[in-house]
Structure 1
Amino acid sequence: MNIDAIAQDIRTASRFDGVDLQALAGHLPTPFHAYSASAIRDRISSLQRALHGTDALICYAVKANSSLAILNLMHEHGVGADIVSSGELWRALRAGIPPERIVFSGVGKSEQEIAEALAARILRFNVESHDELLTLQRLAASIGITAHAAVRINPDVDALTHAKISTGKAENKFGVSIEEARRWFAEKASLSHVQLDGLHVHIGSQILSLEPYREAFRRVAQFWRELEAAGHAIASIDVGGGVGVRYREGHDHPVDAAAYVSVVRTALEGFKGRLLFEPGRYLVAEAGVLLTRVIRVKHGEHRKFLVLDAAMNDLLRPSLYDAWHDIVPVHGETRTMTEYDIVGPVCETGDTFARGRAMPECVAGDLLMIRTTGAYGASMSSTYNSRPLAAEVLLDRGRYAVVRQRQSFEDMIAGEQPARHWETA
């Protein structure tokens, strides 16, 4: 099933990857996350086709959706992992992704996390500060191995995205200036156990224009050529990720994978090393939906509230970013259009999915689909208000498999206990 067929399934809101959603919701309590394996395969294939003939490695950004089932699907299709914690390293290895296809990013790698990644013999580290570089040198020397590292460049480019997911401007916490990176390479002879031979850039997420990429890659290419002219061989350039997806039908216009790759090829023309890509949202966002039921319709003084059984703990993006997600009823009936504030049951005013959203009239018990939740949905969920984590389900051409059971109350408090055994430090 290709992405267009899947998108049509979503628009009709009755089936998803060939699975009847009303029937599925009859088997599983809502809310729950559902992912289309076909849609994920299609996205992987589109990027792999665009990269054909290029020495490139796709490393899926695990933070987008760290489900073992999703990671295993990535592994089956030759995709590696971009990780930002030892927990994500553990998940990637557990899902079968080999360490030689894993890169470690992130501004706050602890010594323990660096040591664990060194022990696993991962492909390389994307280093974001001089202190981290020296820590990597010390830890690698202590076990007698050489770590491969890339310096994360902060190119000071505006990604034209939400401020909270912009990572490539000078005021952001990520990466270092080109001037600082230049000093690292000038002093790299002092690094006996770190091979500094890579560049890395990632300017943000949910980017819907190619222009920020052109400017960022132009600056990286200029620096790469400068380094090579100075005798510093560059084995790899990691161009990050951030390609946007469609959250709002008719409003968001994502860039084409082939056009994005073309920008990379043009900017880095003549580069003989390996290119690394770190897509996350692009691969999984549109492949996921959150199924939820209407608890009740509440008539306020001036507004009508549609109260769902899903909440901000199941999908944080609208509360955190004021993010738009299309929300559609699954009943498929023609009903009068009305406006709702669509909210969850959590005791926070911020537990709001949409305000003044026009949609067909709903009644208690109706099944709704919140679209494009495959990225930063379940992975950012919590048990706030002591609400158990929702189930996750993988769909594949008419079949489904529960890949994470809904959390029980007992699971939720595992590890907790009353304070009975007191000690002194």
Structure 2
Amino acid sequence: MDHFTYRSGVLHAEDVSLEEIADAVGTPFYVYSTATLERHFKVFEEALKGLPHLICYAMKANSNLAVLRVMVRAGAGMDVVSGGELERALAAGCAPDKIVFSGVGKTEAEMRRALDVGIRQFNVESEPELRALNAVALSAGRVAPVAVRVNPDVDAKTHAKIATGKSENKFGVPIARARAVYAEAAAMEGVAVVGVDVHIGSQLTTLEPYEAAFLKLRELVGVLREDGHEISRLDLGGGLGIPYRRSNEAPPLPFDYGEVVRRTVGDLGCEIEIEPGRLIAGNAGLLVSRVIFRKEGEGRDFLILDAAMNDLIRPAMYDAWHDVEPVREPAADAPVGPVDLVGPVCESGDTFARQREMANVEAGALVAFRSAGAYGAVMSSEYNSRPLIPEVLVSGSRFDVVRPRPTYDEMLGRERIPGWLE
């Protein structure tokens, strides 16, 4: 469910017309719904009700400070994967003891900063990282709480570029080597084992891979406890999918995911940590763009938009689908036909959809890309020297620009011409 609906023939974000926002900030822009963000977080809380747990929002999905503040006020912790994300989480008001640091390539500087602020735990992904973290902690006179990420070799049945739990993926320690890694950690003075971590991928549309991974995790916890390790936390990662095609997709609900958690690991006496990102932010955001031209090609028509692949890279990178709707609601009997939706970047890859069946829209019309709140603005760039587009947060009848569009002078001002070229 989201809070983007037609009212009096115009698509709204909560109580605000998208046409009103377009008039105020220009196009293209991203718009996020506070009510949808809050609702999706609450659904996860209800799914794990009765279990000791912490929901750490995976901020790589959408790390806008205003979005993070909404999550913090709702009670979320944060899952960060870089030093920059750590600083964003702190700036948004997240308590350090609710921050989990994931990622395969933490630098010593990032480790030191996280230790200094006192984060909840490091999800360690390899033996070299464990040894580096131990050295940094000892040099700082601190002890780093760690959960080792194990790779269960489970096929998440998702896109190859976002699968993380198979043996050929770069993530985690092979589960067969976990006992040795935990034994090494137990002998270190700069780290303290607090739990086990697993994450098998993103945009999962079935629960069977979760069950397989969690059952392997359950068996591992028993072995580690027999070895004398105190395992008090289970970090189960995130990855639950969303319906990008509303007409024919129905991914599992958080409640069903929660039942899998209860059935597989709910009786182990551990605090459960989960890290949803896409499911919280994805359907909480739209990308709104204006049609520049309608072009008749050889055997097909094109809608040339003012949004481009640098604004929303998912279709070019993953062949991803986004439902696209006119902001002005088409009449029930409006003619529908196939069009290619493309952007102005000088690459054929700058294509959002091919032969998409849509009601007729002409130059000047606004269109909205649904399910664009996750991995949209965070993956954008200034390719072709196109400014990053505004991000807008709506709450009821209010809206505000939470990241403005930079001017060309601001873009150019970040660069320098060396003196010898003057």
| TM-score bucket of the superposed structures, by smaller chain | over 0.9
Instruction: Map 1:116-265 to 2 at 5 A.
Output: 116-265=113-262
Distance in 2 between residues matched to 1:407 and 1:386, nearest whole Å: 11
Q: Structure 1 residues 10 and 205 mapped into 2: Cα distance closer, same or farther (>3 Å)?
A: farther
Alignment deviations for residues 277-313 of structure 1 (CA, whole Å, 9 cap, x no partner): 1000010100000010000011111221110000001
Q: Is the CA contact 1:286–1:373 (under 8 Å) kept in the aligned structure 2?
A: yes
Q: How far apart, in 2, do the equivalents of 1:136 and 1:236 lie? A: 19
Partner secondary structure for residue 202 of structure 2: coil
Alpha-carbon separation, structure 2, partners of 1:121 and 1:270: 29
Preserved contact between residue 13 and residue 369 of structure 1 (Cα < 8 Å): no
Aligned to 2:15: 18
| Contact 2:202–2:241 under 8 Å retained in 1 | yes
Q: Is the 8 Å Cα contact of residues 5 and 12 (structure 2) preserved in structure 1?
A: no
Match of 2:30 in 1: 33
Q: Please, which of 35, 46, 49 is the counterpart of residue 46 of structure 2?
A: 49
Aligned residue for 1:364?
A: 363
Displacement, 1:98? Answer: 0.8
Distance change >3 Å, CA 66–CA 269, structure 1 → 2: closer
- Write the distance in 1 (CA, Å) between the matches of 2:302 and 2:161: 28
Q: Which contiguous aligned blocks of 4+ residues in structure 1 show a shift greater than 3 angstroms?
A: 7-13
Q: Secondary structure at the match of 1:187?
A: helix
Aligned residue in 1 for 2:88 = 91
Aligned equivalent of 2:382: 383
Equivalents in 1 of 2:37, 2:135: separation in Å? 40
Equivalent-residue separation in structure 1 for 2:243 and 2:364 (angstroms): 28
Using the alignment, how far apart are the partners of 2:266 and 2:17 within structure 1? 47
Amino acid at match of 1:405: P
Residue 413 of structure 1 aligns to which amino acid in structure 2?
L
SS in 1 for 2:133: helix
Q: Is the 8 A contact 1:9 1:17 kept in 2?
A: no
Structure 2 counterpart of 1:321: 318
The Cα shift of 1:115 comes to: 1.2
Question: Aligned runs of 1:382-421 on 2, under 5 Å?
Answer: 382-420=381-419
Return 5+ residue gaps in structure 2 as ranges: none
Moved more, 188-197 or 140-149: 188-197
Offset, 1:186 = 2.3
Residue range with higher mean Cα deviation, 349-358 or 300-309: 300-309
1:8, CA displacement in angstroms? 4.3
Identical columns (%): 48
1:331 Cα offset (Å): 1.4
Residue 142 of structure 1 deviates from its aligned partner by 0.3
Preserved CA contact (<8 Å) 2:6 2:329? no
Match of 1:340 in 2: 339
Higher deviation after alignment, 406-415 or 291-300: 406-415
Match for residue 298 of structure 2? 301
* Rounded Cα–Cα distance in structure 1 between residues aligned with 2:74 and 2:97: 15
Q: What SS class does the counterpart of residue 214 from structure 1 fall into?
A: helix
Unpaired stretches in structure 1, ≥5 consecutive residues: none
Contact 1:13 1:328 in 2 (8 A): no
AA at the equivalent of 1:278: E
- Equivalent pairs, count: 419
SS in 2 for 1:333: coil
| Structure 1 counterpart of 2:378, one-letter code | S
* Residue in 2 that maps onto 1:311: 308
1:270: Cα distance to partner? 2.1
Q: 7-16 vs 309-318, which deviates more?
A: 7-16
User: Paired residue for 2:277?
Assistant: 280
Alignment-derived partner of residue 292 in structure 1: 289
What's the offset of the Cα at 1:13? 5.8
CA RMSD of aligned residues (A): 1.5
Kept after mapping to 1: 8 A contact 2:344/2:350 = yes
**Paired residues of 1:167 and 1:203 also in contact (CA < 8 A):** yes
TM-score, with normalisation over the residues of structure 1?
0.96
